[in-house]
Structures are given as structure tokens and as C-alpha cells.
Amino acid sequence: MERLCARWQGETLAGKTLIVHSEQGNGDDIQMVRFVPELAARVRDEGGRLVLAVRRPLQPLFARFYADCVAIEDDALGKPHYGLPIMSVPSVLGLQPDQVRGAAYLYADASRVAGWRERVSTCGGEAARLHVGLVWSGSPTHRRDAKRSIPLAALAPVLALPNVVFYPLTPGRDADVAALNAHGYRVCDLTAHYQASFDDVAAHVSALDAVVTIDSAPLHLGGALGRPVLAMLDHVSHWCWGNEEAQPWYDSVELFRQPQPGAWEPVVERVAARLRAMLSAR
């Protein structure tokens, strides 16, 4: 993006176009896009225009939240005057920690949600009382993936819960899914139906009762959609989760942190207990 335009340093935007663009991971984009409309209002007040430019897999989902949204790869990007990485938006706004609000701000396409509810119902069967999304590992190229991902064997107390069907939310885990099903766990992989990337993931999550996930993009997606998320964190996790188990970013997200580095067992036991409570409530 720096090759396309200069980074915005606070110059007047009257008659100018500011591009706010993807910078780090998809989860970071999902977390920070909530602040774009506030900055856009300031830009409009100056007589300028703010265009949100994101990775193509996120564009349809974000365009429902902020209409002036394009994919970075599109010619529609044009020749903007200035650019700003999306992770810098809170700083530009002068946002303080106590100003962060956790209400849902994204929503899935209603027609896609209807289709996903039908798939989930068909796959889960009548005996399923709880349909839960599941993410146990992230991108292997992520610098912290070894610490944030959880071994499949460690998930046994969660996977063995009766009347619960689990749905992987990341494609390409065929070997893991086969191993889980070989153990008799109820795992239903519908990711082959992800034809519209995050738009389908958002619809899938919206059709489920909850999401159990490591610290990855589906955590942020579930929280941004206002869906119940049980987040399993490694001991020293991403900066936004702080050091404890309270966080202001998403009202629907519960954190379960390792008490010591590598200690997944107590995390999984607590998540299993939380799911049992959800089963009882139903």
C-alpha cells in the first residue's frame, strides 16, 4: 500500500481520499473494523472520503458493515491520496481502553444463514442438543501457532461430551477430522461448503449454538457476530486479551487461560464444564 500512496500523517483530507487497509491477520482486521465508521465520519466532516480496502475473503462481510469497502486486489481501489493501516485507527481516534465496547457489530447474510442452519440440522441429527464450532489449530506460518494451538488428544474431555456435535471452522483439516471420527467423536466437517470464504464462515457460526476456539480469526468473528465463544488461550497470549480472563472487546466471548505455559488440561476441563452447563440450560 505504501507504493500506492503516502501514509496519512494527519494532513487535511478536504477533497482527498484516505484508504484504510488490511495490515496483519484476518482476526486483527475483524477486531479493528469496528472503529472505521467513526474515523470515516471525521473524514467526511473535513470534506474527504474514507475507503476501506481489505483482503478479498473479508470484503463481502465487511461491506455490509461499511459500504465503501473494496478488496485490496480490485481496480476499484483507484489512486488514493493517503493510506492508513487498520491497526492504527484506534490511535488516530485517540481511543482509550475504557472506551472499547463489546457489542456485536457484524452480521451474516440472512439467506446464507438459512442454508447453513439446514446443513447443521441435517448433519447433527435429532439427538444433537448442542451444535458447537471448533478450532484447535491455526495457520502453521503464524509465529505463535505452536503455543496457541492445542493437541487433539488434549481435547478429549470436550469432544466426549454427549449430545454435542462439533463443526470444524477451518478447512483443510481432513486428517485430523478422520482421526477424531475414528475415536467415535461426533465431528461434522462442512467446510467444503465454504464457497464465499468469511461470508460462509460467518453464516456457519451464526447457525451454531457456540464456538470453542483457540486464539484465531474465528474467535474474533464469533465475538463480532455476538455469538457465544469459549476461547482457549495460552498462558502469555495476544496483547488484546491482557493477562487475566476479562476483556472489553466482545461481550459474548469468555476467556479460559492456561494457568502455566503449556497447561491445556485445566483449560479443557473448564470449557467442558461450561458446555455441560449450556446443555443443562437447554
Q: By C-alpha distance, which of 25, 107, 103, 110 is closest to 61?
A: 107
> What are the CA-CA distances from residue 106 to residues 55, 103, 222, 244, 278 (Å)?
16, 10, 9, 26, 24
Q: What is the pLDDT of residue 141?
A: 65
Give the pTM: 0.93
- Are the CB atoms for 51 and 18 separated by under 8 Å? yes
Q: What is the pLDDT of residue 263?
A: 94
Say which CATH superfamily domain 110-281 falls into: Glycogen Phosphorylase B; (3.40.50.2000)
Give mean pLDDT, residues 171-186.
Answer: 92
pLDDT tens for 35-57 read: 999 999 999 999 999 999 999 99
The C-alpha atoms of residue 223 and residue 230 are separated, in whole angstroms, by 10
Of residues 7 and 79, the one with the higher pLDDT is 7
Q: What is the pLDDT of residue 3?
A: 61
Q: What is the pLDDT of residue 1?
A: 57
Average pLDDT over the chain, rounded to whole?
A: 92
Q: What is the pLDDT of residue 218?
A: 97
The C-alpha atoms of residue 26 and residue 34 are separated, in whole angstroms, by 14
pLDDT tens for 259-277 read: 999 899 999 999 999 999 9
pLDDT tens for 184-241 read: 999 999 999 999 999 999 999 999 999 999 999 999 999 999 999 999 999 888 888 9
Give the domain ranges of the chain.
6-87, 110-281
Task: Please check the confidence at residue 79 and state whether its pLDDT lies above 90.
Answer: no
Task: Please check the confidence at residue 2 and state whether its pLDDT lies above 90.
Answer: no
pLDDT tens for 110-166 read: 999 999 999 999 987 777 899 999 999 866 666 676 788 999 999 999 999 999 999
- Are the CB atoms for 218 and 133 separated by under 8 Å? yes
